Chain A
Amino acid sequence: MTLLEVDQVSAGYPGGPNILDGVSLAVERGQTCCVIGPNGAGKSTLLKTICGLLRPRTGAIVFRGEPISQLRPDQILGLGISFVPQDRSLFPDMTVLDNLKMGGYTLRDRKKLAERIAAVCAMFPVLEERRAQRARTLSGGQQQMLAMARALLLDPEVILLDEPSIGLAPQIVQQVFEAVARLRAAGKTIVMVEQNARKGLECADRGCVLDLGKTRLEGPAASLLADPQIEQLYLGKRRGPGPAGSAPGARAEPPA
């Protein structure tokens, strides 16, 4: 069953042009969808539009069968969609514990809050060890874990992850993808934007290629990974003998 549907959405920043220009995406309950594409394709904008920080100019976003395009960010959060932005958006001078408490800010029930904090700490044990430490003193990987844990605090059904591996050392990137795998195992529906397209697709059920604000391709992650042209255009690295004119980085039209 489709849990979250983005239907022909165009959106952009206030006073600016459309960054998204008719994007469509459907995510089933419990699935992980990885959005890939070149810089400036609108990947982050898509997540910001889903969580309500930006409003769609045209098109609709439907969650559990209800349109949510006109709701405020806190209302969308309340429905069960949490966003982990690219800059992680932690509270640098607050402790790990206080950051987690802020994640449950909308929960007024203290007992429930304590239960939820215990639950996410069980998922990310490193946070339990460092609960009294200030967020700014954590390593990049730990900060990413904290940002994910904070987003999990309200037990959302959908988690939007914006470039979880950005700016991290390769070994740490592995840990972050393991964390994503744990979220998946916990039954969360995940929409993830990733520069590291190969890694991202490898831990996803479905993939979506975004370019110049349009959905170019959507399909099972495995078949995107296997597609030689996608591989050349977006996954980089392996330079096998390919069709002329589609060298890595070239702006050829991928198969639709």
Chain B
Amino acid sequence: MIDQLQVVILGATLGGVYALMAAGLTLIFGVMRIVNIAHAAFIVLAAYLSFWAFTLYHIDPIASIAIVMPILFGLGAAAYRLLFARIADSRRHSEMTVLLTFALALVIEGVTGFLFTGVFRTTTPDYASDSFELGPFYVPKGQLYATALSLVLLGALLGFLRLTRTGRAIRATMQNRAAAQLVGVNVRRISTLTFGIGTALAGASGALLSFLFPFFPAKHWQWIASLLALIVLGGMGSLLGTFVGAMLLSIASAVVNDRYGPTWSPATFFLALFVILLVRPHGLFGKKAEL
């Protein structure tokens, strides 16, 4: 019993990070209907920036979020303006954006491979290899800090979306793009901003990942596959669904890892996805088109 609970604790303390990784993907899909296959490549790029800051300037990976997020915001906003804005009204929008984001992922992988080589890297702050003891349980400090910080960032995102005028405009554009235009929202500006915010969130999660998992330039393929499974599970475009999906899958994959070994753990995401789509084709929190 204690062992099983321990496994759940380990899964749950990673869930917040998964949720943060997927939140940007959900936001970008929600506003622009772009499935950003390059999202995990941005995460790995951010992990390298943190690694750089840590190795060269001894900046703590958590503190490096303050540097990484603005850089990734700029990269995301620029990528949107240069690549995606011009095809926003295209009839082949979905096909073209899938190809474009795929190509973007390859380019980022190439650049990180060129700059940092293919060697496995990780940042090693003290807390990465330390843990809290709570009675019979232990909680790795790195995971706990990372998930706590992820929850803070997700809370800030939610507050921004709910309480500010710009946040309201982002939600409105997610729910009904044509209506948003009708009430005077500059949808192009909102899209650029959202792509920037989504990529900045990828940046924050990359900084956290840098001390949780070893990474190398091509690692993003594995991540993006899991993240896509996760957001489809949560119902594309729903932040709450993303969060619940992340928690469920993170715990499920920890349990599978414990029972059947690490080889099966990544497959959990896809098995769970098949099952959910059989039972609820719109995902856990997805909605049919309406109004």
Chain B residue nearest to A78 in the complex (CB): B184
- B169:A102 contact, CB within 8 angstroms: yes
The answer to whether the Cβ of A13 comes within 8 Å of any Cβ in the partner chain is no
Interface pairs A-B: 5 shortest CB-CB: A89-B179, A106-B184, A92-B291, A74-B184, A91-B175
The answer to whether the Cβ of B171 comes within 8 Å of any Cβ in the partner chain is yes
- B169:A87 contact, CB within 8 angstroms: no
User: Complex formed: what's the CA distance from A108 to B166 in Å?
Assistant: 11
List, in ascending order, chain A residues with CB within 8 A of B291's CB. Answer: 87-90, 92, 135-136, 143
Taking A102-B183, A105-B185 as contacts, is the C-beta distance between A90 and B176 under 8 angstroms?
A: yes
Q: Tell me the A residues contacting B by CB distance below 8 Å.
A: 73-74, 77-78, 83, 85, 87-94, 98, 101-103, 105-106, 108, 135-136, 143, 150
Chain A residue nearest to B169 in the complex (CB): A105
| B89 CB, nearest partner CB in chain A, Å | 9
The number of residues on chain B lying at the interface, defined by a beta carbon within 8 Å of a beta carbon of chain A, is 19
Q: Give the total number of A-B pairs whose CB atoms are below 8 A apart.
A: 67
The answer to whether the Cβ of B172 comes within 8 Å of any Cβ in the partner chain is yes
- A103:B183 contact, CB within 8 angstroms: yes
Chain B residue nearest to A136 in the complex (CB): B291
- B176:A85 contact, CB within 8 angstroms: no
Chain A residue nearest to B179 in the complex (CB): A89
User: Complex formed: what's the CA distance from A83 to B169 in Å?
Assistant: 18
List, in ascending order, chain B residues with CB within 8 A of A102's CB. Answer: 168-169, 172, 180, 183, 185
List, in ascending order, chain A residues with CB within 8 A of B181's CB. Answer: 73-74
List, in ascending order, chain B residues with CB within 8 A of A91's CB. Answer: 171-172, 175-176, 179-180
The answer to whether the Cβ of B290 comes within 8 Å of any Cβ in the partner chain is yes
Taking A101-B168, A102-B172 as contacts, is the C-beta distance between A90 and B179 under 8 angstroms?
A: yes
Most chain A C-beta atoms within 10 Å of own C-beta, residue among B178, B179, B180, B183: B183
- B169:A94 contact, CB within 8 angstroms: no
| A18 CB, nearest partner CB in chain B, Å | 21
User: Complex formed: what's the CA distance from A105 to B175 in Å?
Assistant: 15
Q: Tell me the chain B residues, 110-148 only, with Cβ under 8 Å from chain A.
A: none
Chain B residue nearest to A85 in the complex (CB): B182
List, in ascending order, chain A residues with CB within 8 A of B171's CB. Answer: 91, 93-94, 98
List, in ascending order, chain B residues with CB within 8 A of A92's CB. Answer: 175-176, 290-291
User: Complex formed: what's the CA distance from A102 to B168 in Å?
Assistant: 7
Chain A residue nearest to B290 in the complex (CB): A92
Q: Per-residue CB proximity of B252-291 to A under 8 Å, as 1/0?
A: 0000000000000000000000000000000000010011
User: Complex formed: what's the CA distance from A154 to B241 in Å?
Assistant: 35
- B182:A94 contact, CB within 8 angstroms: no
Most chain B C-beta atoms within 10 Å of own C-beta, residue among A74, A83, A105: A105
List, in ascending order, chain A residues with CB within 8 A of B165's CB. Answer: 101, 105, 108
List, in ascending order, chain A residues with CB within 8 A of B179's CB. Answer: 85, 89-91
Q: Tell me the chain B residues, 146-196 only, with Cβ under 8 Å from chain A.
A: 165, 168-169, 171-172, 175-176, 178-186
User: Complex formed: what's the CA distance from A73 to B187 in Å?
Assistant: 12
User: Complex formed: what's the CA distance from A145 to B178 in Å?
Assistant: 19
User: Complex formed: what's the CA distance from A102 to B182 in Å?
Assistant: 10
User: Complex formed: what's the CA distance from A164 to B181 in Å?
Assistant: 20
Q: Tell me the chain B residues, 224-257 only, with Cβ under 8 Å from chain A.
A: none
| A25 CB, nearest partner CB in chain B, Å | 21
Taking A94-B171, A94-B172, A94-B175 as contacts, is the C-beta distance between A105 and B183 under 8 angstroms?
A: yes
Taking A98-B168, A102-B169, A105-B169 as contacts, is the C-beta distance between A73 and B182 under 8 angstroms?
A: yes
User: Complex formed: what's the CA distance from A196 to B176 in Å?
Assistant: 27
User: Complex formed: what's the CA distance from A11 to B27 in Å?
Assistant: 36
List, in ascending order, chain B residues with CB within 8 A of A105's CB. Answer: 165, 168-169, 172, 183-185
Extra inter-chain contacts (20) besides given A74-B184, A89-B178, CB under 8 Å:
A73-B182, A73-B184, A77-B182, A77-B183, A83-B182, A85-B182, A87-B291, A89-B176, A89-B182, A90-B176, A91-B171, A91-B176, A91-B180, A92-B290, A93-B287, A102-B169, A102-B180, A105-B169, A105-B172, A150-B183
